[in-house]
Chains A and B, each alone.
Chain A
Amino acid sequence: MISDLLLFFVLALVAVASALGMLFSKNAIYSALNLILNFGAVAVMYLILGAPFIALAQVTVYAGAIMVLFLFVIMLLGAERLRVGSSLPYQQPVSIALAVILLVLAVYALLFRSPASEIASTAMPGFGDPAVLAEVLYNEYLLPFEVTSILLLVAIIGAIVLTHRKREPRS
C-alpha cells in the first residue's frame, strides 16, 4: 500500500513538473522534450492501472511518432523562440482566472460526484490483457475501427495537400 502510494506520488510529481516545464520553457524544443517525459510518466500509470497495451501504444504513438513529428516541424521552421509578451495585456490574468475557475469546478465535480453504481465492480478475468482487448475491438467496435482507417487516410491526404507547393514553371 505504502509503496503503491509512493510510486503514484513520484509519477504524479514527474508528470506535473514536466507539464509545468512544457508550459514555461522559452524554447519549443525543451517543451517537446518535457512533454515526452510527461507521456512516459503517464504510460507507467497506465501499466499500474492494468492497461499494458495502452501503455505501449502511448510510448510508440505519442512519445514516439507524434513527438518526433513535433520535433521535425520545430527544426524545419526554425521558429523555436518567439518574442515574449502578448499584444493583449489583459489576456494573461484573465486566462489564469478562468483556469482557476475550471480547476475549482472540476475538483468540485470529483468530490461530489454521484456514488459509484454497483455494476461490474467485480474483477473481470483477464482484464487489460491485449487478447481480451483485441477480442472486443474486432467484434463490438469493428465499425469505428474501420472508420478510423478512413480518418487516417484523409489525414494523410490532407497533410500532403496542405504542405504541397506548386513548382514554379521553369520557362
Chain B
Amino acid sequence: MVPVEYYLGLSIVLFVMGAVGVLIRRNAIIIFMSIELMLNAANLAFVAYAYEYQQISGQIFVFFVMAVAAAEVAVGLALIVAIFHTKQSIDVDEINLLKG
C-alpha cells in the first residue's frame, strides 16, 4: 500500500495548481474550474486521512463537499451568465465598475 503521505503530497500539488489558476487566469469560467480543482484536492486529502485513520466520517465530509460544490456551480455559472449579459465579456479584468 502506498503511504498516505504520497496522496497528501499530490493533494497539495493539485491545490497549489488550482490557486495558481485562480490568480493568473482572466477567464471567469477557468477561474471557476480552478476552484473546483482545489475542492477536489481537499476531497483527496479527506479520503486519504479517512483511510489512514479508518474513520468513515472523512468520506461523509467529502459527500457534503460535493453537494456544496454542486450548489456553488449552479449559482456561480448563473452569475457568470448574468455578468455576460450586462458586460458582453467574462474577462474578470473588465468587471471594474467598483474601481475608484
Which residues of A come within 8 Å of B, CB atoms? 1, 4-5, 8, 12, 15-16, 19-20, 22-23, 28, 31-32, 35, 38-39, 42, 45-46, 48-51, 53-54, 57-58, 61-62, 65-66, 69-70, 73-74, 76-77, 79, 82-83, 86-88, 91-92, 95-96, 98-99, 102-103, 106-107, 110, 116, 119-124, 127-128, 132-133, 136-137, 140-141, 144, 148, 151-152, 154-156, 158-160, 162-163, 165
Give every chain B residue within 8 A of A76 (Cβ-Cβ). 81
Contact (Cβ within 8 A) B69 A110: no
Determine the residue in chain A with the shortest Cβ distance to B48: A49
Interface of B is mostly: helix
Indicate which residue in A12, A69, A136, A160 contacts B56 across the interface (CB closer than 8 Å).
A136
In the complex where A70-B33, A148-B67 touch, is A123 in contact with B54 (Cβ < 8 A)?
yes
Indicate which residue in B20, B59, B70, B71 contacts A96 across the interface (CB closer than 8 Å).
B20
Contact (Cβ within 8 A) A82 B27: yes
Contact (Cβ within 8 A) B30 A122: no
Counting residue pairs across A and B whose Cβ atoms lie within 8 Å, the total is 219
Pairs A-B, 8 closest by C-beta atoms: A95-B23, A155-B71, A162-B78, A159-B78, A124-B54, A106-B12, A49-B51, A159-B74
Contact (Cβ within 8 A) B74 A120: no
From 63 to 98 in chain B, residues with beta carbon under 8 angstroms from any chain A beta carbon are 63-64, 66-75, 77-82, 84-85, 89-91, 93
